[in-house]
Amino acid sequence: MMRRRLIYHGRVQGVGFRYTVRSIARRHAVIGWVKNLPEGTVELVVEAEAAEMAGFLADVAARFEGHIDSTDDLSPGDEPLSGFSIRH
C-alpha cells in the first residue's frame, strides 16, 4: 500500500471537485478523504495499491484537465483511514 497527500491548485473549488473525486474513488479500491482549503486549493489524502493509485489519480487528472494548474505532493502523515469521505 502507498499513501499520498496532494494539494491541487487552480480552479478547483466551486466546480464539484470534491464530489467528483469521491465518485471516482468509489470506482477504485482507494481510501482517504478530500477537503477544500481556505486559500482556494483542495487537499486529497489517498491510500491504495500502486496500480490502483495510479489509475485513480489519472482519472482525477483527466476529469479536471483545464482546472488543475499544479499539484503539490506533500508528506502524507499516518492517520488511520477507512472509506473515502469529503471533509469540511
Q: Which of 4, 36, 63, 87 is catalytic?
A: 36
Whether 36 is a known active-site residue: answer yes
Active-site annotation holder among 18, 22, 27, 87: 18
In whole angstroms, what is the distance from residue 59 CA to residue 24 CA?
A: 7
CA 10 to chain CA centroid, nearest Å = 14
18: annotated active-site residue = yes
Q: Which residues are catalytic?
A: 18, 36
